Structure 1
């Protein structure tokens, strides 16, 4: 009985990661972001990332950067060492950073629980509400 349960669990686990093997397996909004803003970057891995909230897609690039997309294919997180394209940052957040931190680059962005979290290249972390209103510096 243990072998059957273990075999079933392994099959389910393996299947969840086999569902997304390349950028072509992603939902269209995710493919659009990668094609438009990260076309020159080499994709290293595409996985389905399951956490306790929901399934999501994770794309890892050869340069170490990673992007997370929700199950519909909408961007939820970008992390890396290079500047995030301005078009991917909400206008109010981008404007705040340009005015308060003009020498810094946004290298991390996450949208979670209705808040935008931004990481700058100097290590500063900023938090904004869902409308782009500044909340705090971490």
Structure 2
């Protein structure tokens, strides 16, 4: 029984060291974004620089509350996704999208946001998906 407990303890410690080691490679812009909008515990930071398919996605951060953040190689946020329908702070979104949401969906919570080259998408907790252009201007309900 002691071996099982000790093994579990060492596994958790090594996991913590792994996450901290990778945090050093995370761009300061990404670190600032996380501190400003998601001050919860960071569980894992993974550098995806070897992924050939996802060339514009370099860092993936998984938070303890079930939210995943993806950053490009320059540290810019490109996706915020909730695994368990955890609410995403509206302040983490671009200002034009915040204004649109406050006017048109004030009572609905955001559970996903993704930025691509020419568009952005928002997923709301009520199942509605909204599409915006690259500058944050509303296009359509998807």
**TM-score between both structures, scaled by the size of structure 2:** 0.75
CA RMSD, 1 decimal: 2.1
CA contact (8 A) 1:21 1:47 kept: no
Count, aligned residues = 120
**1:22 Cα deviation (Å)?**
3.5
* Structure 1: 5+ residue stretches without partners: 1-17
* Structure 2: 5+ residue stretches without partners: 1-17
Runs of 4+ in 1 over 6 A off after TM superposition: none
Q: Deviation per CA, 1:90-129, whole angstroms, max 9, x where unpaired?
A: 2221111111112101221110122111011111110000
Q: Distance in 1 between matches of 2:37 and 2:23?
A: 14
Q: Distance in 1 between matches of 2:37 and 2:95?
A: 17
Is residue 2:21 matched to residue 1:26?
A: no
**TM-score between both structures, scaled by the size of structure 1:** 0.77
Q: Residues 121, 51 of structure 1: CA spacing in aligned structure 2 closer, same or farther, 3 A cutoff?
A: farther
Q: Secondary structure at the match of 1:113?
A: coil
Instruction: Tell which deviates more after alignment, 66-75 or 87-96.
Output: 87-96
Q: Distance in 1 between matches of 2:66 and 2:21?
A: 18
